[in-house]
Amino acid sequence: MSALTAPVPDVRRRDAAASRRAILDAAEQLFAQRGYDRASLGEIGRRAGVSAALPAYFFGCKEALYAAVLDRLLPAVVQTTTAVMEGFDEQELTAFLDTLARVRVAIADVPADLGPPAPRWRPPTLNRSP
C-alpha cells in the first residue's frame, strides 16, 4: 500500500456530549438572534462546528431542539424568578401574578398572523460629501 492510498487516520475525537452542548449553545444564540423561524438546523450545526445534519440526528427536529434549549434555560429562569419573588410581600406578589395573568390573556388574544415582521432599524448613513 503506497502512501497515497493508505487510509488517513481519523484524528478528530468524537465526543457526543461535547457536540450536544455545542449544538445547544449555537441554537440558543441563533434562536435569540434570529428567532425560531429564521434559525435553521443546518446553520445551527455549522455554528456549533459540527456537520449540518448532526442537530437533526441528536434532536430529531427544530421544535425538539428548541424545547431542549428552553429546558436547559428553565432552571436559571426559575432561580432568578424565585430570588426576585422572595423580596415581595404577599400583596405585592398577588399584584405581580395578577399582572402576569393579564399579560398572558392579552398575548393569547393577539392574532397569530400579524403580517410580516417590521424592518430592522438601521442607523442613518452619514453623507460626508459637500
Domain assignment present for residue 117? The answer is: no
In the prediction, which pLDDT does 40 show?
94
Q: Quick check: 48 and 25 in contact, CB under 8 A?
A: yes
Dihedral of alpha carbons 52, 55, 58, 60, sign? negative
Give the total number of structural domains in the chain.
1
Model pLDDT, residue 104 = 61
Q: How many CB atoms lie within 10 A of CB 28?
A: 19
Q: Looking at residue 32, which CATH number applies to its domain?
A: 1.10.357.10
Residue 57 burial by Cβ neighbours in a 10 Å radius (0-12, 13-18, 19+) = middle
Please name the residue that has the C-alpha cell 421544535: 63
- The verdict on residue 124 lying in a domain is no
* pLDDT, tens only, 63-92: 999 989 988 988 887 788 787 778 778 888
Residue ranges of the alpha helices (H) in 1-130?
A: 16-34, 41-48, 54-59, 62-85, 90-108
Tell whether 21 is covered by a domain: yes
Task: Check residues 105 and 40 and name the one with the higher pLDDT.
Answer: 40
| Domain range for 37 | 16-108
Look at residue 128 and tell me whether its pLDDT is greater than 80. Answer: no
Q: What is the mean pLDDT of the chain?
A: 76
User: What is the model's pLDDT at position 105?
Assistant: 59
Residue 11 included in any domain: no
Tell me which amino acid residue 63 is. E
Higher-scoring residue by pLDDT: 45, 36: 45
Quick: pLDDT tens for 93-113.
Answer: 788 777 877 766 555 554 544
pLDDT at 7: 54
